[in-house]
Amino acid sequence: MSFFASVPALPDDPIFGLPALFAADPHPKKVNLGIGVYKDADGKTIVLNVVRKAEELLLKQNLDKDYLFIDGNQKYIQQSLELIFGKNCPGIESKEIYAAQTVGGTGSLRLGSEFLAQEPSRTIFISEFTWPNHKPIFLRAGLVVENYDYYDHKAHKLDFPKFCKSIQSINPGSVIMLQACCHNPTGIDPTFEQWKELSDLIKKQKIIPFFDFAYQGFSEDLEKDAKAVRYFYEQGHEMLVSYSFSKNFGLYGERVGLLAVVTHDAAVAKKVGSQVKQIIRGMYSNPPLQGARIVSTVLQSPELTKEWLEELKDMRTRVQDMRETLVANLMVGAKHHDFTFLNRQKGLFSFCGLSHEQVMHLKKEFGIYMPDNGRINVAGLNPYNMDYVVKSILSVFPSTLKT
């Protein structure tokens, strides 16, 4: 008899389960719009030129493969904090912000939630539409997960009044997960003026903000995409920030992330660091070398940094172009359905307003893959599959077709 015979089988991950299904599908025109990886106009996952150059420079240095500190590459940590909070942020120099290199953005979220669960809070609030992995991460860390209102599905926009009302009902000492930019899956972010109102409400309610910052540079640019986080810092919030270089450096498989805990008190930050390092030690001991070395090599070179910003702009522009093309083509074929709301969305993802049944039909009949909630990866679109995707989407809105 097996010791594990009674272990129940669980469904595949809603995002990472898609590639296997896609690979097994014999459909000749199949399109994968699921997992959030940037693709070029030929549908290929790219390695940035600046990453290749950094790897060549590192190879020539003949570096060792010794363990990093428990909390990681210190130069990388400093540079990451400057990207998030700005080079002139006083909390970086004064050590009032504790930060640790992590195993990707997911590792950062798990590390932050484990710290929260054992210290200041055991309840976290997430938007009712969010990245599917948020809830499992927080639950497995021991947090109680609740929802707050965020998105008006019928109007395809942020429901700001309900968002604010939800915050007013959150108990003091709770944590609220906020996405700094390019909200996943909706693509809809608060305006900067709305972020200011949210900051006031969250401070009044004595809630701890926890920012998920995975797409810096994919909305407008590095500086504008960081405005919300920097404003909350300036307003004196104690908070956490989970950061990822997966998207803006294309370092998906290198698992390059960061957790920052803002305390505004160096003595408190030191105590926080002692706790976080103990969690890391009991989880994975220390983070991997290569990804952080690549990021650090680029960011310490003005020439490589300039090239990185140009490549990041090219990626951002291509995504914007594909979204605008998708909307324009949908509107050509649609009669009574307005798809222009998609142009208000930012980042890799678009929430197209598709039902679960429509998503299943697109997968079964046309080989078009996306999560059950209808979120598409806009970077998965290109000139070769655009017409096919548009016609397929319009086919599940039969009353919208022009005759």
Residue-wise pLDDT for 360-396, tens only, equals 999 999 999 998 888 999 999 999 999 999 999 998 8
- Asked if residues 78 and 294 have their Cβ atoms less than 8 Å apart, the reply is no
Please check whether residues 134 and 190 belong to one and the same domain. yes
User: Is residue 299's pLDDT more than 60?
Assistant: yes
Please check whether residues 270 and 180 belong to one and the same domain. yes
Residue 5 domain-assigned (yes or no): no
Please check whether residues 124 and 256 belong to one and the same domain. yes
Residue-wise pLDDT for 145-201, tens only, equals 999 999 998 899 999 999 999 999 999 999 999 999 999 999 999 999 999 999 999
In the numeric block, which tokens belong to residue 311?
Answer: 């490549």
Query: Percent of the chain at pLDDT above 90?
Result: 82
Position with higher pLDDT, 351 vs 160: 160
Residue 310 domain-assigned (yes or no): no
Residue 8 domain-assigned (yes or no): no
Please check whether residues 126 and 32 belong to one and the same domain. no
Please check whether residues 168 and 254 belong to one and the same domain. yes
**Least confident piece of the model among 5-14, 85-94, 212-221, 351-360:** 5-14
The mean pLDDT value for 240-260 works out to 97
Please check whether residues 324 and 369 belong to one and the same domain. yes
Catalytic residues: 131, 212, 247
Please check whether residues 354 and 243 belong to one and the same domain. no
Please check whether residues 270 and 338 belong to one and the same domain. no
Per the prediction, the chain carries an average pLDDT of: 93
User: Is residue 262's pLDDT more than 70?
Assistant: yes
Residue 60 domain-assigned (yes or no): no
Give the number of domains in the chain.
2
Residue 399 confidence (pLDDT): 58
Residue 242 confidence (pLDDT): 98
Residue 163 domain-assigned (yes or no): yes
Residue 216 confidence (pLDDT): 97
Residue 13 domain-assigned (yes or no): no
Residue 398 confidence (pLDDT): 66
- Asked if residues 318 and 41 have their Cβ atoms less than 8 Å apart, the reply is yes
User: Is residue 403's pLDDT more than 70?
Assistant: no
CATH number for the domain that contains residue 375: 3.90.1150.10
The mean pLDDT value for 215-230 works out to 97
Residue 53 domain-assigned (yes or no): no
Please check whether residues 192 and 220 belong to one and the same domain. yes
Of 259, 274, 300, the residue that ends a domain is 300
Please check whether residues 87 and 216 belong to one and the same domain. yes
Residue-wise pLDDT for 305-348, tens only, equals 999 999 999 999 999 999 999 999 999 887 778 889 999 999 99
Please check whether residues 200 and 291 belong to one and the same domain. yes
Please check whether residues 39 and 127 belong to one and the same domain. no
Q: What is the pTM of this model?
A: 0.93
Sign of CA dihedral 53, 54, 55, 58: positive
Residue 1 confidence (pLDDT): 72
CATH number for the domain that contains residue 232: 3.40.640.10
Domain with 177, as residue range(s), is 67-300
Residue-wise pLDDT for 26-72, tens only, equals 889 989 998 889 999 999 999 999 999 999 999 999 999 999 999 99
The mean pLDDT value for 245-264 works out to 96
The mean pLDDT value for 206-224 works out to 97
